[in-house]
C-alpha cells in the first residue's frame, strides 16, 4: 500500500466494505468475536478456555478502539493542533474491557451477542487482570487523566514504562504481608500493539569530549559505555463516545547491533547476558510509594523512558516538516512528579548536542515546553540523585544541569539574593554528599508548576518551593485532582448509575456537575429507599467477595466502614485500629450502647521495605482475628483485611462503602483521590482538613461531612510547643488502655514484643500526632453511629454527597490543565 493522504474511510469504501468495517451492532460484535476466537487465536471450539474467550472479546473491542484512535490522529494532524505529552513513570489503567464497552456504548449489544453464544459477559469481564504499572494514587491519576484527555478530545499521548512485573501481588500469610511477583503478561496482553519500527537508542555511562568545531561552535560528544533500545508498545485508550488516544509504554531491549558474528562459546554467553542486562531496565516497578530509594536502576528507568519519549516527539514533530524552533508550540509536556524531570536536561541535550541549536534558544524552548506537577510534600519523597551517581550514569546530563544551575544562580546573584537563599535554591544540595534536587530542576525548567489540591498548592508555595514562588509568583497554580467517574461509578456501580440516569438523565456521564439535579430528591423517601436498595445490593456482592477472599462472613446490614489505600504512617490506618480496639474493650466491658454494628474493612499494600507499615498490616489482621472469633464481640463489630488491593478490587469496594476514612494528618496527603471515589458512590466521609478533603467538604457542606482533628496550622503549633505524646498517654485513660492493650500479648498469643515498635513509636515520637487527634476522632465516630441509626438522615446525606461531587471529575481537572497550563484546544472527531 503506497502512502497516500487518504482517510481510513476512503480505503474501506474503495474495497466496498463500507465505512463501518468495525460495526457496533450485536451481529458485528458476534461475528468478529468468533473470527478472533478461531482465526486469530486458532482455537478448536472444544478446547476453548475462559482466557481465550476474554482474549477474543478484548481483540474485538481493541479493533474498535483503534479505529477511534486512527480517526482522532487523522483529525489532530489535519488541524495541526498543539498537543499534550503526559510523562509518567506509572499508570494504573485497571481492567480495560468494561470501560471500553461503556465508552463505545455497546454494553447491551455485547451482552446479547454473547448470550446468543451461551456465554456470559460478566464471566468474561471477570477474567481480565490488570496492568499494575503503578503504586497508588499517582499512577491511577495518570490513568484517569488518559480517560479524560480522550473524552475531551485533547490531542495527547501518555508516555511511560512497560514494566514486565508491575506492583507486587500481596498475600497475607499468618497475618503478614508477603510479596509475590505480578506476572501480568503471562496470559498475554490483548490490548497492546508492539511497534518494532518505533524504537530509539538510549545511551548510558561513559564520558564526554568537548571540542570546538570548524565553524567555531563549541561541541560536546557523549561517548557512552552502553546503549539500549526502547521499543514502543501502544495501548489505545478510549474516551466516552469520543476520541481515542494512545498510552505508549517503552520496553528495553538489547540494541540490534550487538555482535553475534564474532563470538566463540564464551563470548556467546556474554553477549546473551548483555542482552538480558539491557532488558533489566524495564523488568520491575519500584514498589515504593512516596519514597525514594536512590537506586541506580531507578534512575536508569527514568532516563530511559524520558529519552525514548522525547526522541519520539522530535520524530513526530520533524517528520511533519516542522522545525525544532517551534517545538514548544506543538507540544506541552506535563511532568507527573519529578520522576520524569531528567527530561529538562535531556531536551537540552537533544537540542544543543544532537540538533546543534544554541543554548539560549534551546533553553527558551525547553522552558516553554515543560510543566511540572508536584504530588507530595513529604521530605523523604522529594527526589534527589547524588552527583556521583548521576555523573556516572548520565555524565552529559550532569554537565547540562551544572550549566543550567550556574546560569540560574547568576540570575539570583544579579537580583541581590543572599548566599543562604542561593544555597537553598540551587539545583545542587551541597549539604552532606552533593546531590541534584530534581524538584528544583523541574521548577526551573518549567513554565508552570502545580499542586494537586488547593491546600497542597498553598503549602507547596509556602513551604517546599517557597523561594521559587517568591521569585516567580505567576509560575505557580493549582489543579485539584479528579477521578474518572465513568469507570468508578458507571462501570463499577451500574445499580447507582442506572438509578441516577433514570432520575436525571445520562448527562452526568459527560458533565458531572449535572449530578446537582439529584438534590431535590434527597428527602424523597421512596427515592431514599431505592438508594438504600442499591447500596445493600452492592454490599451483598462485596460480602460474597470478602468471604471468598478471607473466609470471614460479614453481614451487609452492618455499617461498612472502609479505609483502602497504600499503608503509610501519615495516612494513619493505625488511628482507625486504635479506635476499633477501644470499641472491643467497651464491648468486653458490656458497654455496648451507642455502638452501631459495623464492619471495618481495610486494604492496601505496604512498601516491602517499610517495617512499620507492614507491622500495621499485622496489627489489623491481629485485631481482625481477635474480634471476628469472639462471639461476644462479633455480633457488633467485624474486621476485614482484603489482600491485594488494586483497581479491580477497588471497583468492588467503593460502591459498597457507607463510610470513607480519610484520616491522614493534616498537611500530609497532597490530595487523595480515593476520597472522591467513595463520595461519588454515596459514602459519607470521616476526615481531617487535608488534601482534597477540604474541597470535598466545601462542596458537600459541613453538615454532610464528619470532620475531626487538627488543622495544618494547629499541627504546626503543637509541634512548635513541643509535642509530648507521652503526656496524652498519662493523662487520657482511654489512650492508656488502648496502647497498653497493644503490648499486653492478647493480640499476639501472649507475645508482648510484637507490637512494641508501634507502641514505642507512638509514645516516643508519634510523628503524625495520632494521640493528639484520638479523642476528636472517637467523638466523631460516636456521631457517625448516631446518624447511622437514623437511616433517613444518613441516606439524605448520602444523596447530597453524590449530588454535590460534580467538581471532582477528572474531566474538570483536564479542562483546568488546558486552561491554566497547556493552552490547548479540543479536536473532537465527529462520528
659 forms beta bridges with: 561, 684
375 catalytic per annotation = yes
- Smallest gap from Cβ 63 to ligand NBG, in A, equals 33
756 catalytic per annotation = no
| 670 lines the binding site for ligand NBG (CB under 6 A) | yes
- Smallest gap from Cβ 88 to ligand NBG, in A, equals 11
**Contact status, residue 523 vs residue 793, Cβ threshold 8 Å:** no
**Contact status, residue 798 vs residue 538, Cβ threshold 8 Å:** no
DSSP secondary structure string for all residues of 151-195: HHT--EEEEEE--SB-SPEEEEETTEEEEE---TTTT--TT-EEE
| 688 lines the binding site for ligand NBG (CB under 6 A) | no
Site string for ligand NBG, 466-485 (x = CB under 6 A): ---------------x----
**Contact status, residue 404 vs residue 345, Cβ threshold 8 Å:** yes
Radius of gyration (C-alpha) of the chain in whole angstroms: 28
| 672 lines the binding site for ligand NBG (CB under 6 A) | yes
Interacting span for ligand NBG (CB under 6 A) from 394-402, 510-518, 602-610, 671-679: 671-679
40 catalytic per annotation = no
Cell 526502547 belongs to 230
Of positions 155, 556, 691, 806, contacts ligand NBG by CB under 6 A: 691
Instruction: Report the alpha-carbon distance of residue 590 to residue 584 in Å, rounded.
Output: 10
| Cβ atoms < 10 Å from Cβ of 417 | 17
Instruction: Report the alpha-carbon distance of residue 459 to residue 461 in Å, rounded.
Output: 5
Specify burial of residue 376 (Cβ count, 10 A radius: 0-12, 13-18, 19+). buried
Q: Read off the C-alpha cell for 818.
A: 488546558
Residues that contact ligand NBG, how many (by CB under 6 A): 18
- In eight-state DSSP terms, residue 94 is -
- Smallest gap from Cβ 590 to ligand NBG, in A, equals 41
Interacting span for ligand NBG (CB under 6 A) from 14-22, 100-108, 153-161, 669-677: 669-677
Strand residues in 764-828 grouped as ranges (E): none
614 catalytic per annotation = no
For residues 381 and 536, which CB has a smaller minimum distance to ligand NBG in the complex?
A: 381
Span 439-458, contacts to ligand NBG by CB under 6 A: 452
- Smallest gap from Cβ 591 to ligand NBG, in A, equals 37
List the one residue out of 38, 75, 44, 24 whose CA is nearest residue 243.
Answer: 75
- Smallest gap from Cβ 781 to ligand NBG, in A, equals 23
Instruction: Report the alpha-carbon distance of residue 457 to residue 479 in Å, rounded.
Output: 8
According to DSSP, the β-strands at 384-386 and 435-437 are antiparallel
Of positions 148, 634, 671, 712, contacts ligand NBG by CB under 6 A: 671
For residues 528 and 810, which CB has a smaller minimum distance to ligand NBG in the complex?
A: 810
**Contact status, residue 62 vs residue 40, Cβ threshold 8 Å:** no
| 658 lines the binding site for ligand NBG (CB under 6 A) | no
599 catalytic per annotation = no
Of positions 381, 536, 585, 636, contacts ligand NBG by CB under 6 A: 381
The whole-angstrom distance between residue 690's C-alpha and the CA centroid of its chain comes to: 18
For residues 381 and 585, which CB has a smaller minimum distance to ligand NBG in the complex?
A: 381
List the one residue out of 487, 455, 485, 499 whose CA is nearest residue 713.
Answer: 455
For residues 292 and 683, which CB has a smaller minimum distance to ligand NBG in the complex?
A: 292
- Smallest gap from Cβ 390 to ligand NBG, in A, equals 21
Of positions 376, 492, 493, 598, contacts ligand NBG by CB under 6 A: 376
Characterize 62-97 residue by residue with b for buried, 16 or more Cβ atoms within 10 angstroms of its Cβ, and e for exposed: bebbbbbbebbbbbbeeeebbbbbbbbbbbbbbbbb
For residues 72 and 480, which CB has a smaller minimum distance to ligand NBG in the complex?
A: 480
| 637 lines the binding site for ligand NBG (CB under 6 A) | no
Instruction: Report the alpha-carbon distance of residue 450 to residue 452 in Å, rounded.
Output: 7
Interacting span for ligand NBG (CB under 6 A) from 555-563, 589-597, 667-675, 730-738: 667-675
Instruction: Report the alpha-carbon distance of residue 190 to residue 492 in Å, rounded.
Output: 22
Site string for ligand NBG, 128-167 (x = CB under 6 A): --------xxx--x--------------------------
523 catalytic per annotation = no
Q: How far is CA 651 from CA 553, 759, 783, in A?
A: 20, 34, 28
Site string for ligand NBG, 330-369 (x = CB under 6 A): -------x--------------------------------
Of positions 669, 699, 773, 811, contacts ligand NBG by CB under 6 A: 669
Of positions 28, 109, 192, 289, contacts ligand NBG by CB under 6 A: 289
- Smallest gap from Cβ 338 to ligand NBG, in A, equals 9
Sheet holding 331-336, edge to edge: 193-204, 226-238, 244-254, 156-161, 83-87, 331-336, 370-373, 446-451, 476-478
Interacting span for ligand NBG (CB under 6 A) from 548-556, 642-650, 665-673, 699-707: 665-673
Of positions 28, 32, 290, 766, contacts ligand NBG by CB under 6 A: 290
Catalytic residue among 203, 251, 461, 566: 566
For residues 128 and 337, which CB has a smaller minimum distance to ligand NBG in the complex?
A: 337
List the one residue out of 638, 639, 636 whose CA is nearest residue 587.
Answer: 636
| 287 lines the binding site for ligand NBG (CB under 6 A) | no
Judged by the rule CB under 6 A, the positions of this chain that interact with ligand NBG are: 136-138, 141, 289-290, 337, 375-376, 381, 452, 481, 669-673, 691
Q: Would you please indicate which residues are annotated as catalytic (active-site) residues? A: 375, 565-566, 571, 673, 677
Amino acid at each position: 500500500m503506497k502512502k497516500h493522504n487518504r482517510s481510513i474511510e476512503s480505503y474501506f469504501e474503495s474495497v466496498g466494505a463500507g465505512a463501518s468495517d468495525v460495526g457496533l451492532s450485536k451481529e458485528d460484535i458476534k461475528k468478529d468475536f468468533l473470527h478472533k476466537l478461531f482465526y486469530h487465536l486458532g482455537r478448536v471450539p472444544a478446547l476453548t478456555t475462559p482466557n481465550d474467550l476474554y482474549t477474543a472479546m478484548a481483540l474485538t473491542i481493541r479493533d474498535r478502539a483503534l479505529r477511534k484512535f486512527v480517526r482522532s490522529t487523522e483529525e489532530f494532524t489535519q488541524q495541526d493542533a498543539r498537543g499534550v505529552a503526559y510523562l509518567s513513570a506509572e499508570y494504573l489503567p485497571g481492567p480495560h474491557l468494561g470501560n471500553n464497552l461503556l465508552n463505545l456504548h455497546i454494553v447491551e449489544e455485547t451482552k446479547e451477542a454473547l448470550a446468543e453464544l451461551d456465554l456470559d459477559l460478566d464471566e468474561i469481564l471477570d477474567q481480565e487482570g490488570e496492568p499494575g504499572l503503578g503504586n497508588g494514587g499517582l499512577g491511577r491519576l495518570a490513568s484517569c487523566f488518559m480517560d479524560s484527555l480522550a473524552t475531551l478530545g485533547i490531542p495527547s499521548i501518555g508516555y511511560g514504562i512497560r514494566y514486565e512485573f508491575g506492583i507486587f501481588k500481596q498475600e497475607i500469610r499468618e497475618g503478614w504481608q508477603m510479596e509475590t511477583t505480578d506476572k501480568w503478561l503471562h496470559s498475554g496482553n490483548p490490548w497492546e500493539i508492539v511497534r518494532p519500527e518505533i524504537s530509539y537508542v538510549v545511551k548510558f555511562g561513559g564520558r564526554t569530549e568537548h571540542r570546538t568545531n570548524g565553524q567555531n561552535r563549541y561541541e560536546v560528544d557523549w561517548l557512552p559505555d552502553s546503549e539500549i533500545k526502547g521499543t514502543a508498545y501502544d495501548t489505545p485508550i478510549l474516551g466516552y463516545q469520543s476520541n481515542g488516544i494512545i498510552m505508549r509504554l517503552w520496553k528495553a531491549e538489547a540494541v540490534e547491533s550487538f555482535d553475534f558474528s564474532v563470538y566463540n562459546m564464551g563470548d556467546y554467553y556474554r553477549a546473551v547476558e548483555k542482552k538480558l542486562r539491557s532488558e533489566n531496565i524495564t523488568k520491575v516497578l519500584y514498589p515504593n510509594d512516596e519514597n525514594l530509594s536512590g537506586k541506580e536502576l531507578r534512575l536508569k528507568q527514568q532516563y530511559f523512558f524520558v529519552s525514548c519519549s522525547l526522541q519520539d516527539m522530535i520524530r513526530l514533530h520533524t517528520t511533519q516538516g516542522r522545525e525544532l524552533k517551534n517545538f514548544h508550540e506543538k507540544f506541552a509536556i506535563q511532568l507527573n512528579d519529578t520522576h520524569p524531570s531528567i527530561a529538562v536536561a535531556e531536551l537540552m541535550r537533544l537540542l544543543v548536542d544532537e540538533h546543534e541549536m544554541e543554548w539560549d534558544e534551546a533553553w527558551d524552548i525547553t522552558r516553554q515546553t515543560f510543566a511540572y506537577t508536584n504530588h507530595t510534600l513529604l521530605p523523604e519523597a522529594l527526589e534527589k540523585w547524588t552527583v556521583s551517581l548521576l555523573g556516572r550514569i548520565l555524565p552529559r546530563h550532569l554537565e547540562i544541569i551544572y550549566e543550567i544551575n550556574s546560569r540560574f544562580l547568576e540570575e539570583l546573584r544579579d537580583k541581590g539574593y543572599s548566599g543562604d537563599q542561593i544555597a537553598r535554591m540551587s539545583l545542587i544540595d551541597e549539604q552532606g554528599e552533593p546531590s541534584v534536587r530534581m524538584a528544583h530542576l523541574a521548577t526551573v525548567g518549567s513554565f508552570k508548576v502545580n499542586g494537586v489540591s488547593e491546600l497542597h498548592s498553598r503549602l507547596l508555595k509556602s513551604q517546599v518551593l517557597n523561594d521559587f514562588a517568591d521569585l516567580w509568583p505567576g509560575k505557580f497554580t493549582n489543579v485539584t485532582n479528579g477521578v474518572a467517574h465513568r469507570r468508578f461509578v458507571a462501570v463499577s456501580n451500574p445499580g447507582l448509575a442506572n438509578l441516577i440516569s433514570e432520575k436525571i438523565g445520562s448527562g452526568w456521564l459527560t458533565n458531572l456537575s449535572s449530578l446537582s439535579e439529584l438534590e431535590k430528591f434527597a428527602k424523597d423517601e421512596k427515592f431514599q429507599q431505592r438508594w438504600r436498595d442499591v447500596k445493600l445490593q452492592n454490599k451483598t456482592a462485596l460480602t460474597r467477595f470478602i468471604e471468598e477472599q478471607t473466609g470471614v462472613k460479614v453481614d451487609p446490614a452492618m455499617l461498612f466502614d472502609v479505609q483502602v489505600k497504600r499503608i503509610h504512617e501519615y495516612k494513619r490506618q493505625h488511628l482507625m485500629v486504635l479506635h476499633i480496639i477501644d470499641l472491643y474493650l467497651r464491648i468486653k466491658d458490656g458497654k455496648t450502647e451507642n455502638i452501631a454494628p459495623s464492619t471495618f474493612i481495610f486494604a492496601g499494600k505496604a512498601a516491602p521495605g517499610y517495617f512499620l507499615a507492614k507491622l500495621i498490616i499485622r496489627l489489623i489482621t491481629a485485631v481482625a482475628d481477635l474480634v471476628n472469633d469472639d462471639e461476644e464481640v462479633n455480633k457488633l463489630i467485624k474486621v476485614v483485611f482484603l489482600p491485594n488491593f488494586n483497581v479491580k478490587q477497588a471497583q468492588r469496594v467503593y460502591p459498597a462503602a457507607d463510610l470513607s476514612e480519610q484520616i491522614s494528618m493534616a498537611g500530609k496527603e497532597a490530595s487523595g483521590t480515593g476520597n472522591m471515589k467513595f463520595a461519588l458512590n454515596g459514602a459519607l466521609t470521616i476526615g481531617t482538613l487535608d488534601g482534597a478533603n477540604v474541597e470535598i467538604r466545601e462542596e458537600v457542606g459541613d453538615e454532610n461531612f464528619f470532620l475531626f482533628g487538627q488543622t495544618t496550622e494547629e499541627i504546626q503549633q503543637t509541634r512548635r510547643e513541643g509535642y509530648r505524646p507521652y503526656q496524652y498517654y498519662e493523662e487520657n485513660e482511654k489512650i492508656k488502655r488502648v496502647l497498653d492493650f497493644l503490648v499486653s500479648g492478647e493480640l499476639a498469643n501472649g507475645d508482648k514484643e510484637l507490637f512494641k515498635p508501634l507502641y514505642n513509636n507512638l509514645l516516643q515520637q508519634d510523628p503524625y500526632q495520632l494521640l493528639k487527634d484520638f479523642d476528636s476522632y472517637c467523638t466523631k465516630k460516636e456521631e457517625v453511629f448516631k446518624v447511622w441509626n437514623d437511616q433517613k438522615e444518613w441516606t439524605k446525606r448520602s444523596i447530597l454527597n453524590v449530588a454535590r461531587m460534580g467538581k471532582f471529575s477528572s474531566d474538570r481537572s483536564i479542562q483546568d490543565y488546558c486552561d491554566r497550563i497547556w493552552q490547548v484546544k479540543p479536536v473532537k472527531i465527529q462520528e
